[in-house]
Amino acid sequence: MTNKIKQAVILAGGLGTRLRPFTNEHPKPMYRFNNKPFIEYLVEQVKSFGIKKIVILLGYKAQEIQDYLGDGSRYGLTIEYSVTPVEYETGNRLLEIRDLLDDRFLLMYCDNYCPIDFDKLVRDAYKNDAAIQITAYTNRDNYTKDNLLIATDGKVEVYDKKRETLGLKGVDIGYAIIKKETLDLLDSNSGIVNFEKEVYPQCVAQGELFATSVEHRYYSIGSWNRIELTEQFFSERKTIFLDRDGTLNVRPPKACYVERPEGFVWLPGAKEAIQKLKENGYRLILVSNQPGIARGNLSVDTLNAIHDKMQADLRQETGYEIDAMYYCPHNWDEECECRKPKPGMLYEAQKEYSLNLRKCILIGDDERDIQAGKAAGCKCYQVKDDSSLLDIANKIIQGD
Rounded CA-CA distance 12/171 in Å is: 20
- 323 tagged catalytic: no
Rounded CA-CA distance 228/384 in Å is: 40
Q: Is the dihedral of CA 343, 142, 323, 360 positive or negative?
A: positive
Per-state percent for the chain, helix, strand, coil, to nearest 5: 40, 20, 40
Say if CB 255 and CB 261 are below 8 A apart.
no
Listed residue (391, 396, 392, 362) closest to 379, CA to CA? 362
3-class DSSP state of 37: strand
Say if CB 157 and CB 204 are below 8 A apart.
yes
Give the helix ranges, DSSP H, for 49-194: 62-69, 90-96, 118-127
- Catalytic option among 111, 146, 243, 369: 243
**Any idea of the CA torsion for 80, 84, 89, 90, to the nearest 10 degrees?**
-10
Query: Which residue(s) pair with 384 in the sheet?
Result: 387
- Catalytic option among 124, 146, 245, 365: 245
170 φ/ψ sector (left φ>0, alpha ψ -120 to 50, else beta): left
Q: In the Cβ-directed half-sphere of 324, how many Cα atoms lie within 13 Å?
A: 14
Radius of gyration of the chain from its Cα atoms, rounded to whole angstroms: 24
Q: Which residues contact 103 (CB under 8 A, 6 or more apart)?
A: 179, 180, 181
- 243 tagged catalytic: yes
CA–CA distances in Å: residue 85 to residues 8, 60, 65, 68: 21, 8, 15, 20
Rounded CA-CA distance 320/305 in Å is: 18
Say if CB 156 and CB 131 are below 8 A apart.
no
CA–CA distances in Å: residue 82 to residues 26, 88, 98, 191: 18, 12, 11, 18
- Residues labelled as active-site residues: 243, 245
